[in-house]
């Protein structure tokens, strides 16, 4: 049998790559991993983790105001961005070290530099050419800016995580996950935000009721310029803080300290040596794989944002784990993409699992819709005018709950548990016979009585 330097060579130490290497090493494989940047990938360094820390910071603004209704008095609080940045950076450095330890402690050889494919079983790392029986491409993605004159002046979420000064005002272009989350965060931290989005409702792909509700709720907090996009960006004379002038396609101009372009992400598959193999990519650079994550080149696999299926950390983790187990534990598992929950950490939070109403109706089957708009108990005293929305979609034939959507405090925490029930095939009757926890928002989901007409 042909011998290789390693059984498994992983390019990219983000969520998918680290999980796959760890599982492969635990199963006895000789593993190497290459990472040219920080360990933990987008999630740990420029995504989920720092974003959630920023989101916690931003929530305090509303909570301080809420506390007055509960009898607290205090001077107007002040926010210090450099403190948040420094504390966030310290936490990320701690996580980077943990990720590196996970790999090193299992004897995985770490290459802290860029790796490129040199052929079917060969990888070039620095001056070395290494051979491996199997190769996993877990190279992630990066923000993509829509093209317009001056777009080089706009920042992306990558830069926002390290912005030395927080501007007084900001324009956010986009209406997806990152735009909604960062617009909420920046608003909470005291920045005057204008969100510019080409559509009339935020968060395409989510249930229409959720989109309408969130668009109205966020529109009540900061300015939404809907049905528009930035056409041009220029830097004004530099007097003190940076000032940018954004011209929209409506002709309107907005002056702001920074412009954040949150218009999607693209797979990080350029300059990877793919041309030395038969690996194929789609127009946006996503690596084409089959249901076993095999590329068109035998022995080369790809997972996570690089394949652009469901670009969420837990999905990359699961995909990486499946590749490692199938290769080194003789399993033949396939990824189940049904009932993948997701949350948008805008304020208020959104979480969703299963089908939207439109998807359920497009599927041909009849469905019942249960909807509740309710005022969270906390806001009876806080005075905050921010209702929550809960929606269930039930397949009329099987009575299974096939969609569950929520906008409200800690929606992600709450929807995670319901996802387990839905994965087990829970029906509306199962929800109905479940005793609620009182008083919570979650109990609404088990007390929804009448479907919409």
Which positions touch ligand NDP (CB under 6 A)?
Answer: 146, 174-179, 181, 197-199, 204, 229, 262-265, 311-312, 342-345
Question: Which one, 123 or 351, has the nearer CB to ligand NDP?
Answer: 351
Beta-carbon contacts of 433 under 8 Å, excluding residues fewer than 6 positions away, are none
What is the Cα 293 distance to its own chain's centre? 21
Q: Which residues pair with 6 in a beta bridge?
A: 132
Residue 239 or 283: the one with the smaller Cβ distance to ligand NDP is: 283
DSSP state, residue 75: P
> Which H/E stretch holds residue 196?
strand 192-197
In the complex, least distance from residue 361 CB atom to ligand NDP, rounded to whole angstroms? 20
| CA angle (276 as vertex; 138, 37 as ends), nearest 5 | 35
Strand order in the sheet with 258-261: 223-226, 192-197, 169-173, 258-261
Q: What are the CA-CA distances from residue 53 to residues 60, 99, 167, 185, 331 (Å)?
A: 12, 19, 19, 10, 37
Cβ nearer to ligand NDP, comparing 176 with 348: 176
Shortest distance in whole angstroms from residue 7 CB to ligand NDP? 31
Token pair of 67 as six digits: 């506390």
CB of 175: closest distance to ligand NDP in angstroms? Answer: 3
Question: Among residues 197 and 391, whose Cβ is nearest to ligand NDP?
Answer: 197
Query: Contact 392/445 with Cβ under 8 angstroms?
Result: yes
User: For 442, phi and psi rounded to 5 degrees?
Assistant: -60, -30
**Residue 160, SS3 per DSSP:** helix
Q: How many other CB atoms sit within 10 Å of the CB of residue 429?
A: 11
DSSP 142-159: EE-PPP-TTGGGSB-HHH
Report in angstroms how near the CB of residue 173 gets to ligand NDP at its nearest: 7
Least separation in angstroms between CB 22 and ligand NDP: 22
Give least dist CB 51 to ligand NDP, A.
7
What is the smallest separation between the CB atom of 54 and ligand NDP, expressed in angstroms? Answer: 12
- For residue 439, whether the previous peptide bond is cis, meaning omega lies within 30 degrees of 0, is yes
- d(Cα 13, Cα 15) in Å, to the nearest integer? 7
Structural contact between residues 273 and 124, judged by C-beta atoms closer than 8 angstroms: yes
Q: Give the whole-angstrom CA distance, residue 115 versus residue 123.
A: 7
Q: How far is the CB of 345 from ligand NDP (least distance, A)?
A: 5
Known active-site residue 405: no
Planar angle of CA 272, 276, 279, nearest 5 degrees: 75
Sequence-distant (≥ 6) Cβ neighbours of residue 311 within 8 angstroms? 141, 265, 304, 305
Q: Catalytic positions, please? A: 438
């Amino acid at each position: 049998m042909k011998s290789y330097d390693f059984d498994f060579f992983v390019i990219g130490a983000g969520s998918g790559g680290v999980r796959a290497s760890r599982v492969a090493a635990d199963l006895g494989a000789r593993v190497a991993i290459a990472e040219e940047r920080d360990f933990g990938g987008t999630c740990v360094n420029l995504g989920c983790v720092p974003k959630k820390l920023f989101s916690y910071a931003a929530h305090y603004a509303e909570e301080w105001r809420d506390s007055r209704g509960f009898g607290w008095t205090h001077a107007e609080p002040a926010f210090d961005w450099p403190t948040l940045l420094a504390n966030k950076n310290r936490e990320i450095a701690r996580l980077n070290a943990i990720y590196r330890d996970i790999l090193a402690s299992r004897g995985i050889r770490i290459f802290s530099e860029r790796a490129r494919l040199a052929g079917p079983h060969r990888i070039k790392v620095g001056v070395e050419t290494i051979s491996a029986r199997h190769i996993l491409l877990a190279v992630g993605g990066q923000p993509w800016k829509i093209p317009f004159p001056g777009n080089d002046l706009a920042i992306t979420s990558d830069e926002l995580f390290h912005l030395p000064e927080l501007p007084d005002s900001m324009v956010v272009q986009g209406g997806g996950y990152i735009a909604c989350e960062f617009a909420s965060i920046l608003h909470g931290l005291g920045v005057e935000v204008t969100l510019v989005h080409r559509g009339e409702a935020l968060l395409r792909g989510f249930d229409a009721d959720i989109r309408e509700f969130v668009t109205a709720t966020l529109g009540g907090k900061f300015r939404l310029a809907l049905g528009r996009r930035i056409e041009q960006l220029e830097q004004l004379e530099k007097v003190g803080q940076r000032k940018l002038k954004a011209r929209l396609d409506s002709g309107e101009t907005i002056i702001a300290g920074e412009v954040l372009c949150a218009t999607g992400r693209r797979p990080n598959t350029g300059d990877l040596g793919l041309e030395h193999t038969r690996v194929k990519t789609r127009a946006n650079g996503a690596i084409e794989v089959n249901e076993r994550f095999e590329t068109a080149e035998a022995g080369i696999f790809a997972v996570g944002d690089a394949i652009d299926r469901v670009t969420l950390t837990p999905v990359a983790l699961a995909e990486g784990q499946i590749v490692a187990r199938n290769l080194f534990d003789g399993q033949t598992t396939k990824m189940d993409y049904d009932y993948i929950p997701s949350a948008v950490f805008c304020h208020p939070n959104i979480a969703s699992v299963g089908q939207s109403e439109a998807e359920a109706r497009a599927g041909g089957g009849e469905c019942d819709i249960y909807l509740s708009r309710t005022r969270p108990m906390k806001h009876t005293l806080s005075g905050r005018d921010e209702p929550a929305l809960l929606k269930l979609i039930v397949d009329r034939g099987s009575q299974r709950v096939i969609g569950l959507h929520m906008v409200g405090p800690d929606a992600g925490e709450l929807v995670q548990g319901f996802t387990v029930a839905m994965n087990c095939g829970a029906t509306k009757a199962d929800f109905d016979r479940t005793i609620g926890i009182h008083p919570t928002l979650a109990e609404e989901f088990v007390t929804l009585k009448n479907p919409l007409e």
